Amino acid sequence: MLTATLTALPLLLNLALFAACAAAVWLAGTRLSRLADAISDRLRIGKALMGLVFLATATSLPEIVTVITAALANDAQLVLSNMFGGITFQTA
């Protein structure tokens, strides 16, 4: 399992992996917001609407994939925990 593999790695390597993933998320988020602005300009729709629909959907994709994967694995506890925990965390 991936968790067992990551826990076997040295702490410094895990920190480097975390930093690399954080940088990738930051770069992708910046690029995504620029693309959303360009799309809203091209389609002549408001940037607020574009952010509401496009960016909100894009940032919810990890939760959606987790819920679908857990549902396919018949893990109801993970499905409910992710749904209610994700909603609570994002609205807090």
| pLDDT tens-digit readout, 7-39 | 788 899 989 999 999 999 999 989 988 998 999
Q: Which among 68, 80, 74 is positioned nearest to 88, based on CA atoms?
A: 80
Rounded Cα distance between 68 and 71, Å, is: 5
pTM for the full predicted model: 0.59
Q: Evaluate whether 30 touches 58 at the Cβ level (below 8 Å).
A: no
2 band by pLDDT with thresholds 50, 70 and 90: low
Confidence at 43, pLDDT banded by 50, 70, 90: very high
Model pLDDT, residue 44: 92
Q: What are 23's two structure tokens?
A: 């940088």
* Average pLDDT over every residue of 48-69: 85
Instruction: Give the per-residue pLDDT at 51.
Output: 83
In 1-92, beta strands by DSSP E? none
Residue reference for tokens 């607020």:
48
Neighbouring residues of 9: CB distance < 8 A, sequence distance ≥ 6: 17
Does the pLDDT at position 3 exceed 90? no
Cβ(33)–Cβ(18) below 8 Å: no
